[in-house]
């Protein structure tokens, strides 16, 4: 019966964090096209800019000296956006195409033999083509990045801070090409804080975040995270050529991107960035467990759906994998499958109610994630790098389907996303902590208004939002403080998005247009709103100031002066100093309050890390190997 209930809860999980490119006028928009890599090692995204195709158009160029070019200089040519006074380089390869023998392999350094024409958007990594990114603009060959720079910026002119964006999308969707930084760059230049912006792709779904015995045995877990790390290594080695300072890199991201950034903190020696901003994501936001065992049943189902279950099947001349070649093992069969067949298999897994949770995502592999994040943080085994970590007020509204009309149905959703279901006793305790009282539910601070929905829906939204997002952000902050690190800031975004249904509240991902400068009249962001007000624009400016200050000074207040550019001084969060300072980001009230709301409820989750899959370690013999 539980699975009959859960089958109706699938759709919302696939739409977390799926923003589109900012709405711009025709001259500012960039066209999406497939990037290609030639067999000789050169890369091209076309020879002209789709928005600057004139006989006299300025073509910006920079020169790289990568380790893999045999000492030869590599010229990268981009496009110029004169209306923004920006030079943009679209689709620069940062790793070898992860195809053929390199499928399921860690990213390999790209070999540069010729110049790079970076004038068209790169392909997105493979994902569900029915989403916001169609099949024609995605490819297994997808490890590219985009660079936005002030006009004329290069190694001889400037040495600017760098901000690297990691997109969200539940580890199964998203693309660097969805994020146009022109408005953020323009505002930065206007306020005297120009910077270099980078957005990079990483592998998704089964291609980058597989769970199961085959992925564990072949060292193929967390490849998407390794792609991100490889991209950051490329930035360290090459961003100087674009006028960027490799010693002043801030990495920032949302949802899955924020989770990925937080996981990089589990390497205490990481040197790839000097600060980070994590929007709606921390280490254990998604259930995380050992690669081999947590979702091995989903891996076996993938083999079944791709006809790779047995060696005989993998050598079959019929079925979805008829061109898988002379595979000798089920794993080799997966490696040999046409990419579209593997993607179809992945989508078939996700369409099965048993595996409709987060069966593709970060896992404990004993390598890049050596143990349970909860354990590592508790032991102080994390990088001491300044960070901002925040949440939106109503994270759960974008996840819980609106037809949830009972506490029982809401708990079925909890069971769906957890590899190990909480006990009935635990669920009853949660129900007591989160009473089915409309005024206590989410969207928060909406009184008894249920928006025509069940009060149990508001109850479920509050539970899911706290258990996944809020509690884990709070745990990261407090563990950092308890282990003597106090360069930590936190926020809650509380601004409603104009034109969105009221029941969504301040929903997951709704802060993105404000961060990228698109939340203003006449601009907007597709998929969010085109009706932003001057108040929204003012809040967007405030947020961009905080984010840019952090990139420049590792302090959202700028040079540390309380009278600096922002009206409200944003103090650090440090429980050792008896404060839980949190910044409220609301147009009418940007103010500081204490991060102690629903303390008892969130402590309940954090005090039971095993039951809520925050703490699930590798077997001892694996850790010791």
Q: What is the pLDDT of residue 8?
A: 36
Q: What is the 3-state secondary structure (H, E, C) of 236-282?
A: HHHHHHHCEEEEEEEEEEECHHHHHHHHHCCCCCCCCCCEEEEECCC
Respond yes or no: is residue 510 known to be catalytic: no
How far, in whole angstroms, is CA 507 from its chain's centroid? 16
Q: Which residues pair with 490 in a beta bridge?
A: 389
**Does 37 score more than 60 pLDDT?**
no
Q: Hey, what are 137's tokens?
A: 């603009």
What's the whole-number average pLDDT of the chain?
87
Confidence of residue 29 (pLDDT cuts 50, 70, 90): very low
Please check whether residues 247 and 138 belong to one and the same domain: yes
| Strand order across the 196-200 sheet | 79-81, 86-93, 144-150, 196-200, 160-166, 244-254, 275-279, 387-392, 488-493, 581-585, 591-594
**Does 455 score more than 90 pLDDT?**
yes
In this structure, are residues 417 and 360 in contact, taking their beta carbons and an 8 Å threshold? no
Please check whether residues 404 and 439 belong to one and the same domain: yes
Count structural domains, the chain.
2
- Distances in Å between the Cα of 361 and the Cα atoms of 12, 290, 502 are 17, 11, 31
Q: Per-residue pLDDT averaged across 417-440, rounded?
A: 89
Q: What is the pLDDT of residue 608?
A: 87
Of the candidates 19, 26, 30, 45, the one whose C-alpha atom is nearest the C-alpha of residue 178 is 19
Of the candidates 361, 17, 367, the one whose C-alpha atom is nearest the C-alpha of residue 204 is 361
Please check whether residues 42 and 138 belong to one and the same domain: yes
In this structure, are residues 93 and 139 in contact, taking their beta carbons and an 8 Å threshold? no
In this structure, are residues 171 and 361 in contact, taking their beta carbons and an 8 Å threshold? yes
- Over residues 373-405, the pLDDT tens digits come to 999 999 999 999 999 999 999 999 998 999 999
Instruction: Please identify which of the residues 139, 182, 255, 327 carries the catalytic annotation.
Output: 255
Residue range(s) defining the domain that contains residue 310: 296-358
- Over residues 159-186, the pLDDT tens digits come to 999 999 999 999 999 999 999 999 999 9
Please check whether residues 261 and 400 belong to one and the same domain: yes
Q: Hey, what are 245's tokens?
A: 């300072």
Q: What is the pLDDT of residue 353?
A: 84
Q: What is the pLDDT of residue 565?
A: 54
Please check whether residues 341 and 447 belong to one and the same domain: no
Please check whether residues 306 and 182 belong to one and the same domain: no
- Over residues 248-289, the pLDDT tens digits come to 999 999 999 999 999 999 999 999 999 999 999 999 988 899
CATH of the domain at 14: 3.40.50.1820
Please check whether residues 194 and 162 belong to one and the same domain: yes
- Over residues 457-514, the pLDDT tens digits come to 999 999 999 999 999 999 999 999 999 999 999 999 999 999 999 999 999 999 999 9
Domain boundary among 325, 358, 391: 358
Q: What is the pLDDT of residue 45?
A: 40
The position carrying tokens 């589990």 is 266
């Amino acid at each position: 019966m539980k699975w009959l209930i859960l089958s109706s809860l699938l759709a919302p999980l696939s739409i977390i964090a799926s923003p589109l490119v900012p709405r711009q006028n025709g001259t500012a928009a960039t066209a999406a096209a497939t990037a290609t890599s030639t067999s000789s090692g050169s890369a091209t995204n076309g020879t002209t800019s789709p928005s600057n195709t004139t006989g006299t158009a300025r073509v910006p160029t920079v020169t790289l000296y990568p380790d893999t070019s045999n000492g030869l200089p590599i010229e990268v040519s981009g496009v110029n956006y004169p209306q923004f006074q920006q030079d943009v380089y679209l689709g620069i390869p940062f790793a070898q195409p992860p195809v053929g023998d390199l499928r399921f392999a860690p990213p390999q350094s790209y070999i540069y033999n010729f110049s790079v024409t970076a004038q068209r958007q790169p392909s997105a990594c493979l994902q569900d083509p029915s989403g916001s990114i169609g099949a024609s603009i995605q490819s297994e060959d997808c490890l590219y990045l985009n660079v936005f720079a002030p006009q004329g910026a290069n190694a001889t002119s400037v040495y600017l801070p760098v901000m690297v964006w990691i997109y969200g999308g539940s580890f199964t969707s998203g693309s660097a090409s969805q994020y146009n930084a022109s408005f953020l760059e323009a505002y930065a230049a206007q306020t005297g804080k120009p910077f270099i912006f980078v957005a990079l792709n990483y592998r998704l779904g089964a291609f980058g975040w597989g769970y199961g015995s085959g992925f564990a045995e072949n060292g193929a877990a967390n490849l998407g995270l390794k792609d991100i790390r490889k991209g950051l290594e490329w930035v360290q080695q090459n961003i100087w050529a674009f006028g960027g300072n490799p010693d002043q890199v801030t990495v920032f991201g949302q949802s899955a991107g924020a989770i990925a950034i937080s996981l990089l903190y589990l390497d205490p020696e990481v040197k790839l960035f000097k600060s980070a901003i994590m929007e709606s994501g921390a280490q254990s936001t998604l259930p995380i467990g050992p690669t081999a065992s947590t979702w091995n049943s989903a891996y076996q189902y993938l083999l079944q759906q791709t006809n790779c279950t047995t060696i005989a099947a993998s050598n079959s001349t019929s079925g979805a994998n008829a061109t898988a070649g002379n595979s000798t093992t089920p794993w080799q069969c997966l490696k040999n499958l046409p990419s579209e067949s593997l993607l179809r298999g992945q989508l078939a897994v996700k369409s099965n109610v048993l595996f409709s949770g987060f069966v593709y995502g970060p896992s404990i592999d004993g390598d890049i994630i050596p143990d349970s994040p909860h354990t590592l943080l508790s032991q102080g085994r994390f990088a001491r790098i300044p960070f901002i970590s925040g949440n939106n007020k109503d994270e759960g509204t974008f996840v819980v389907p609106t037809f949830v009309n009972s506490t029982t149905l809401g708990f079925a959703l909890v069971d769906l996303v957890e590899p190990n279901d909480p006990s009935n006793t635990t669920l009853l305790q949660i129900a007591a902590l989160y009473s089915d009282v409309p005024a206590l539910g989410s969207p928060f601070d909406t009184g008894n208004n249920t928006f025509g929905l069940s009060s149990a829906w508001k109850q479920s939204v509050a539970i899911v939002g706290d258990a996944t997002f809020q509690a884990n952000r709070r745990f990261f902050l407090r563990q950092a403080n308890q282990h003597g690190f106090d360069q930590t800031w936190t926020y809650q975004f509380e601004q409603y998005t104009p034109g969105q249904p009221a029941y969504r509240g301040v929903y997951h991902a709704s802060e993105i247009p404000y961060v990228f400068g698109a939340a203003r009249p006449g601009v907007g962001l597709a998929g969010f709103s085109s009706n932003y007000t001057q108040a929204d624009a003012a809040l967007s400016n405030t947020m961009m100031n905080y984010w840019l200050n952090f990139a420049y000074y590792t302090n959202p207040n700028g040079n540390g002066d309380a009278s600096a550019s922002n009206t409200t001084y944003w103090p650090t969060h440090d429980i050792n100093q008896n404060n839980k300072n949190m910044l409220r980001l609301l147009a009418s009230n940007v103010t500081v309050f204490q991060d102690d709301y629903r303390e008892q409820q969130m402590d309940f989750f954090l005090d039971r890390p095993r039951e809520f899959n925050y703490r699930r370690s590798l077997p001892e013999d694996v850790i010791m190997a």
